[in-house]
Structure 1
Amino acid sequence: MAQSARRWRNAAAVMAAAGLLSLGLGTPGASAAEEPRIDLKVLVVDNGDSPVEAITEELRTTGIPYTTVDLNDSGRPTIDEAFLSDTVDGTPRARYQGVVLPNEAPFGTGSAEQTALETYERTFGIPQVDAYTWAHPGVGLDYTDAGGWAGTLDGREAAVTTAGGAGHFGYLDGPLAFEDNSPSVQESYGYVARPRAGFTSYVDIAVPGGTGRGSLVGEYAHDGRRELVVTFAYNHYQQQFRVLARGIVEWLTQGVHLGRSRNYFSVHVDDVFAPDSRWDTERNCTPGDFDCVGGDGEGTTPIRMTAADAVHAAQWQRDSGFTLDMVYNAGAGEEWKSENGNVDALTDQLLADKGEYRWVNHTYTHPFLGCVQDTSTVPWSCAKNADGSTRYVSRADISAEIRDNNLWAASHGLPVDSSELVTGEHSGLKTLPQQPDDNPNLAGALADNGVDWTASDNSREPQQRSVGSTLTVPRHPMNVYYNVGTSEEMTDEYNWIYTSKADGGSGVCENNPTSTCLDDPLDPATGFESYILPQEARTALGHAVGNDPRPHYVHQSNLAEDRLLYPVLDKVLADYRALYADNAPLENPRQSAIGTELKRRAAWQEAVADGDVTAYRVGTTVTVTAPSGTQIPVTAPEGTLKQLLLGTTAFGTPYAGERSAWTTPDALQTALTLRLPA
């Protein structure tokens, strides 16, 4: 009887250890009493190449703490047992839960550092990512001359395998196309190879010019160690990496880590109720603008939505399952109405459908709220007071613009969150080069009206910052211009900006290191659909799949006439939904939620950088301490429980096959404790 019980206990111990190892949680052969402490931090060994930089960026944006060892730094620490592990209160500690290497053996096969690292991984069950390597038996793959292939992957389609779908790449269910943005540039080189024993492919591709499929991403289990082997080159801007990055990081951490990552897409439509000026295709400028010589816009037809456009917008939302943020100027709409017989079918229709949109205050009449502009010269400058100081729009005037727009909304039953604001042209904030500082009256006016979140232009200020007690929410401008109503106008202005002087353009692209001139001007009849639309959709999708919550912004003119915005949004949504599984929906937050997310991220990064966060797991228990009040981002497997003072509760909300949340310890607790599924 005792012998039988002993055999049962031994079998149970083996099964428990196997379960823990499947999560990367245990030491081979260890009993529960001997479980090591594994710190929730990643070791990155960096050789300066883009694949390691890309994974590091994914760790950073997700919020996962990491330590970098720079191989190009002569003063770097030595990778040895003391660097990798120690003992805390008698418990063995692994300092890193995963290791990112530029390739399978960056220190040299058989070297002291490589041996120490491999021993560490074997002892504590720590996974390793080989950021980019070639196909060879040393990583569990055949050479490419044995039924494989090596070459440029641009434009080719890869797919998640059955094993990948059952594991950490299960958030994808469609083919993954490698970017091919220029036929004259090699963008991604890779090795497509057949797996050997011990290798499980997670992402593969049909062998070009051959038969069968070969691996691009897969796991090589050998000698008590596990490596994720990536055999294509990439950088963190490329869409194929951004799509696969989640799976790479979740495999590395086995789905238990600090930080959280989701896919976001929100679109602000500015100037709702107001008309927008129209691009002049003859003079290559916008009448009414300060730099458009030869006319003030009189006699030109502005661009403004119609009631039919409003009906279309509401129906498009229903059909697409996507909500737009209507950023409105009620006073500008009232002015238009008074100039047009006090009849405004557009406003009537938008108000009839007001509950279908989110609404954001854009000030009453859309004035410039920074310095008082002196337009006697081109470009304009800031007007001066008698003592030579800059003359600014007053606090009272700014406050009135915010307040009057809110009052109009209240009187018309418009559901507005008064904590959100978008000033006209993001004015009031510093505007380089003319206005290098914020209007000093802006912060007070924002506080007067309870504004917590004011929009900024991400192309100028990509980081959130304070304006008094208010925080900015950077917005991505979309290349669908405010001053065009038709595809021909859009293409004409695009050609003017992005072609050389020799081709009839402005030549701005020739002197701007961040821009590239078009090889040839786009065809006005087809340029928008064939070139501008897919390029802008690709850019927006890149933001969406990069854990970037910042909203995009366009203008009401883009919902009018040719309705240029819809095909761009349709492509973004269709491409996303074709690629991602239903368990990873595209989140569509409003401005206040986006501002809160960015604020939490900044506070978290500061706490990690200051060394104020301690996080580790012992067996199936995760413990995290952080400064009091700090929201802690955590990702964990389905079935994870949060420990309360009395009992437990389900942790987080589901996303991409796991659960994640910003959370804090329960009342009267000093640490956050999670119970992972056994």
Structure 2
Amino acid sequence: MVIRNRTSRTAAALAAAALMSMALPAASAEAAAATPRIDLKVLVVDDGGSSVEAITAELRDTGVPYTRVLLGASGRPVIDAAFLSDTVDGRPRARYQGVVLPNENPFGEGSAEMAALAAYETAFGIRQVDAYTWAHPGVGLEYTDNGGYSGQLDGTRAAVTAAGKAGPFGYLAGEVAFEDNSPLVPESYGFMGRPRAGYTSLVDAPAGAGRASLVGEYAHDGRTELVVTFGYNQHQRQFRLLARGIVDWLTQGVHLGRSRNYFAVHVDDVLAPDARWNSELDCTPGDYACPGGEGRESTIRMTADDARYAVQWQQAKGFTLDMLFNAGAGEEWKAENGGTDALTAQLLADKARFRWLNHTYTHPFLGCVQDTAADPWTCTKDAQGNVRYMSRAEISAQIRDNVAWAAAKGVPLDRTELVTGEHSGLRTLPQQPQDNPNLAGALADNGVKWVGSDNSREPAQRPVGAALTVPRHPMNVFYNTGTNAEMADEYNWIYTSRAHGGSGLCEDNPATSTCLPAPLDTATGYLGHIVPQEARTALRHVLANDPRPHYVHQSNLAEDRTLYPVLDRVLDDYRTLFAPGTPLVNQSMKDTGVELGRRAAWDKALAAGRVTAYRIGATVTVKAPSGVLAPVTAPTGTRKQLLLGTAEFGSAYAGTRSAWTGPELLQSAVVLRLPG
């Protein structure tokens, strides 16, 4: 009885303390009435240009709420005082924490809308981004003929200034190199100007005998603008490097949304051999239709030396590969090659060095029963005209037997993860427009919650029974090549016109590929052309807050080890561009699945208007639907309100702290206390 009373009194005291911590005012009632509420949403005024679209994409892809006003749309809202602010519970409210404009005044001289925005920004301390403008005194810069420059910027080696490093771009190592992917195509244009009074340059570049600004902060008339004087789109590296800082500057470091630079690489078919491309036949004998390929089959498989090199490379680069293995295919190879397998022995000796992922036991096609006599293959049907599918029991055995092998060998494995061979079992257009109806049950039988899919076919996460897909980016390093020359030869076949001896696929699909002007030299084409292009594509994904893993094949770690030059370039370029406090996030497929699921729930809540978030002084409040975690970014030193007291908020990344977060015990909202 004594214990029960003590427990009851303690619970009551905790509940009372919690209510007090939620109800106590941060300051006097008089001060609170004068402190405005700033809603955590951005206003985007869109002229249809690529620069505004790029910033909008950054907001959307990182989870920052925004309202978009299309300048050219009929019936668009008028931007006036009533549109921008009102009063809630007797307190002045700013509806937007930041404003993105196409330029410093897209409404025209003397515009009432611009006057309303200027008054709003001054009254509430709201910042404005001028997405793309020219260098002139109206934005705090000298004209370009006074120590500046205007023209093409391809290849310009800009740099973050000391003020930029101390401010919004401190996550960068320093250089902001403008892309120059083709000497035949102008890619960037802009203006560089020397700062006038009130302007602080954040990114500059050489101009004449000195340097001039490309991005800067212009403080004037009680307002602050971020002035960008070069054009860009959402994919260009120069924008991607600066995007995070633009948003942090705009929101003064406090906003909904969360961003990381992710990179994971799945190596499929480990322990199994892969069929080899035949440069004479221009096809792959032993793999679907290859006229004339009978008896000319050849395979590519890693060796023990390749496995040892993979470990050494990982240690040198500080990066972990995901090994997607087919144990049964390895056992078959061993039986056909004298009963020994040095590759498997070496990988098992270093099993703790890699992340391992189930890729099925023998890599069969888990969808419909295929008729491969023709190209493309088709699904076979029974006498009644029904598509024939691999059974639930067969699929389950492929999953279970690979797990059992791993357990017997002591291979660390998360049984909730699975990538099927060729992403089979999932719908494969056009031949198999639906999932194998037996797949979801087999996944459930084996506790699989995350199943890999091909991002080029299905970029969105979706359910497969109780499991969820995790889309993966295919890297253009071909599974059926082991040497640089083979890579260049097959690349030529795919990406050159028929007139140049290619397949003409690039001519038939101009929307998805571009024909090479001439075939690559097979001796130099891989390292000279393909590697830079594939590394650039992968790094673009990394810089876009895209957690989806990339996938290649074990053949790319064999023979010429074609994968490593691509990965070396991605990793080296990344570490040259970013400060140590902004590391690559190399996470598991399950963690990526969780991230994508949280994003989908958050986007749905935003679209339904079910998120309320605002800042009053040094207190941030976020309310979302029950069960939906909110992505929040805040300055270092931010504390989260607990039942009793506070705790440090989030995890450190790129100079800020951020987290997916929800209310604490007995709270209906997330409450954060900002530093200072």
* TM-score relative to the length of structure 2: 0.95
Q: Secondary structure at the match of 1:417?
A: coil
The residue aligned with 1:573 is 571
The residue aligned with 2:362 is 365
Looking at structure 2, the residues matched to 58 and 284 of structure 1 have their Cα atoms a distance apart, in angstroms, of 42
Would you say 1:51 and 2:51 are equivalent positions?
A: yes
Q: Secondary structure at the match of 2:343?
A: helix
Looking at structure 1, the residues matched to 35 and 315 of structure 2 have their Cα atoms a distance apart, in angstroms, of 53
Looking at structure 2, the residues matched to 587 and 675 of structure 1 have their Cα atoms a distance apart, in angstroms, of 27
The residue aligned with 1:267 is 265
Match for residue 330 of structure 2 among 330, 333, 338: 333
TM-superposed CA distance for 1:375, in Å, is 2.0
The residue aligned with 2:353 is 356
Does the 8 Å CA contact 2:33/2:90 hold for their aligned counterparts?
no
Does the 8 Å CA contact 2:289/2:372 hold for their aligned counterparts?
no
Deviation sequence 1:156-179 (CA, Å, 0-9, x none): 111000000001100001312111
The residue aligned with 1:342 is 339
Looking at structure 1, the residues matched to 78 and 119 of structure 2 have their Cα atoms a distance apart, in angstroms, of 15
Looking at structure 2, the residues matched to 114 and 31 of structure 1 have their Cα atoms a distance apart, in angstroms, of 30
Deviation sequence 1:610-659 (CA, Å, 0-9, x none): 01100000000000111111111100000000000110000000000000
Looking at structure 1, the residues matched to 553 and 408 of structure 2 have their Cα atoms a distance apart, in angstroms, of 24
Q: Secondary structure at the match of 2:502?
A: coil
Q: Secondary structure at the match of 1:571?
A: helix
Looking at structure 1, the residues matched to 470 and 325 of structure 2 have their Cα atoms a distance apart, in angstroms, of 17
The residue aligned with 1:158 is 158
The residue aligned with 2:471 is 474
Looking at structure 1, the residues matched to 377 and 477 of structure 2 have their Cα atoms a distance apart, in angstroms, of 25
The residue aligned with 2:629 is 631
Deviation sequence 1:358-411 (CA, Å, 0-9, x none): 000000000001111012322211101211121111111111100110011101
Match for residue 503 of structure 1 among 497, 500, 503: 500
The residue aligned with 2:38 is 38
Does the 8 Å CA contact 2:289/2:373 hold for their aligned counterparts?
no
Looking at structure 1, the residues matched to 559 and 585 of structure 2 have their Cα atoms a distance apart, in angstroms, of 29
The residue aligned with 2:424 is 427
The residue aligned with 2:106 is 106
The residue aligned with 1:655 is 653
Pairwise mapping of residues 346-425 of structure 1 onto structure 2 (< 5 A)? 346-425=343-422
Deviation sequence 1:475-510 (CA, Å, 0-9, x none): 000011000010000000001000000101001001
The residue aligned with 2:227 is 229
Looking at structure 2, the residues matched to 429 and 263 of structure 1 have their Cα atoms a distance apart, in angstroms, of 28
The residue aligned with 1:459 is 456
The residue aligned with 2:174 is 174
Report the AA paired with residue 318 of structure 2: G
Match for residue 662 of structure 2 among 637, 661, 664: 664
Q: Which moved more, 1:32-41 or 1:188-197?
A: 32-41
Looking at structure 2, the residues matched to 525 and 382 of structure 1 have their Cα atoms a distance apart, in angstroms, of 40
Pairwise mapping of residues 17-96 of structure 1 onto structure 2 (< 5 A)? 33-96=33-96
Q: Which moved more, 1:380-389 or 1:364-373?
A: 380-389
Pairwise mapping of residues 98-247 of structure 1 onto structure 2 (< 5 A)? 98-207=98-207, 210-247=208-245
TM-superposed CA distance for 1:299, in Å, is 4.7
Q: 1:668 to 1:32 in 2, by over 3 A?
A: closer
Report the AA paired with residue 434 of structure 1: Q
Deviation sequence 1:47-90 (CA, Å, 0-9, x none): 10000000000000110000000111111000011100000000
The residue aligned with 2:286 is 288
Q: Which moved more, 1:472-481 or 1:32-41?
A: 32-41
The residue aligned with 1:250 is 248
Report the AA paired with residue 387 of structure 2: T
Q: Secondary structure at the match of 1:116?
A: helix
Match for residue 486 of structure 1 among 453, 475, 483: 483
Deviation sequence 1:122-155 (CA, Å, 0-9, x none): 1000000000001111111111011111011111
Q: Secondary structure at the match of 1:603?
A: helix
TM-superposed CA distance for 1:583, in Å, is 0.6
The residue aligned with 2:26 is none
TM-superposed CA distance for 1:327, in Å, is 0.3
The residue aligned with 2:17 is none
Looking at structure 1, the residues matched to 373 and 279 of structure 2 have their Cα atoms a distance apart, in angstroms, of 25
Looking at structure 1, the residues matched to 654 and 608 of structure 2 have their Cα atoms a distance apart, in angstroms, of 30
Looking at structure 1, the residues matched to 288 and 228 of structure 2 have their Cα atoms a distance apart, in angstroms, of 53
TM-superposed CA distance for 1:293, in Å, is 1.0
Report the AA paired with residue 86 of structure 1: D
Q: Which moved more, 1:381-390 or 1:278-287?
A: 381-390
The residue aligned with 2:20 is none
Q: Secondary structure at the match of 2:536?
A: helix
The residue aligned with 1:17 is none
Match for residue 555 of structure 2 among 554, 557, 561: 557
Does the 8 Å CA contact 2:323/2:357 hold for their aligned counterparts?
yes
Looking at structure 1, the residues matched to 551 and 376 of structure 2 have their Cα atoms a distance apart, in angstroms, of 25
Report the AA paired with residue 404 of structure 2: L
TM-superposed CA distance for 1:555, in Å, is 0.3
Q: Secondary structure at the match of 1:416?
A: coil
Q: Which moved more, 1:423-432 or 1:373-382?
A: 373-382
Looking at structure 1, the residues matched to 198 and 410 of structure 2 have their Cα atoms a distance apart, in angstroms, of 64
Pairwise mapping of residues 3-18 of structure 1 onto structure 2 (< 5 A)? none
Looking at structure 1, the residues matched to 177 and 67 of structure 2 have their Cα atoms a distance apart, in angstroms, of 32
Looking at structure 2, the residues matched to 233 and 331 of structure 1 have their Cα atoms a distance apart, in angstroms, of 54
Q: Secondary structure at the match of 1:181?
A: coil
Looking at structure 2, the residues matched to 464 and 508 of structure 1 have their Cα atoms a distance apart, in angstroms, of 29
The residue aligned with 2:522 is 524
Deviation sequence 1:286-333 (CA, Å, 0-9, x none): 00122211124x453310000000000011111110000000000000
Report the AA paired with residue 263 of structure 1: N
Looking at structure 1, the residues matched to 628 and 505 of structure 2 have their Cα atoms a distance apart, in angstroms, of 46
Looking at structure 2, the residues matched to 299 and 212 of structure 1 have their Cα atoms a distance apart, in angstroms, of 64
Looking at structure 2, the residues matched to 278 and 240 of structure 1 have their Cα atoms a distance apart, in angstroms, of 39
The residue aligned with 1:301 is 298
Deviation sequence 1:96-132 (CA, Å, 0-9, x none): 0000001110111321111111100010000000000
Looking at structure 2, the residues matched to 594 and 226 of structure 1 have their Cα atoms a distance apart, in angstroms, of 38
Q: Secondary structure at the match of 1:264?
A: coil
Looking at structure 2, the residues matched to 75 and 371 of structure 1 have their Cα atoms a distance apart, in angstroms, of 52
Deviation sequence 1:419-448 (CA, Å, 0-9, x none): 000000000111011011111111111111
Report the AA paired with residue 477 of structure 2: V
Q: Percent identity?
A: 72
Structure 2, unaligned stretches of length 5 or more? 1-29
Looking at structure 2, the residues matched to 471 and 285 of structure 1 have their Cα atoms a distance apart, in angstroms, of 34
Report the AA paired with residue 58 of structure 2: E
The residue aligned with 1:537 is 535
Q: Secondary structure at the match of 2:77?
A: coil
Deviation sequence 1:594-614 (CA, Å, 0-9, x none): 000000000000011101100
Looking at structure 1, the residues matched to 651 and 109 of structure 2 have their Cα atoms a distance apart, in angstroms, of 43
Does the 8 Å CA contact 2:425/2:436 hold for their aligned counterparts?
yes
The residue aligned with 2:27 is none
The residue aligned with 2:644 is 646
Looking at structure 2, the residues matched to 84 and 176 of structure 1 have their Cα atoms a distance apart, in angstroms, of 35
Q: Which moved more, 1:540-549 or 1:368-377?
A: 368-377
Looking at structure 1, the residues matched to 167 and 33 of structure 2 have their Cα atoms a distance apart, in angstroms, of 29
Looking at structure 2, the residues matched to 616 and 176 of structure 1 have their Cα atoms a distance apart, in angstroms, of 33
The residue aligned with 2:24 is none
Measured on the aligned residues, the alpha-carbon RMSD in Å equals: 0.9
The residue aligned with 2:15 is none
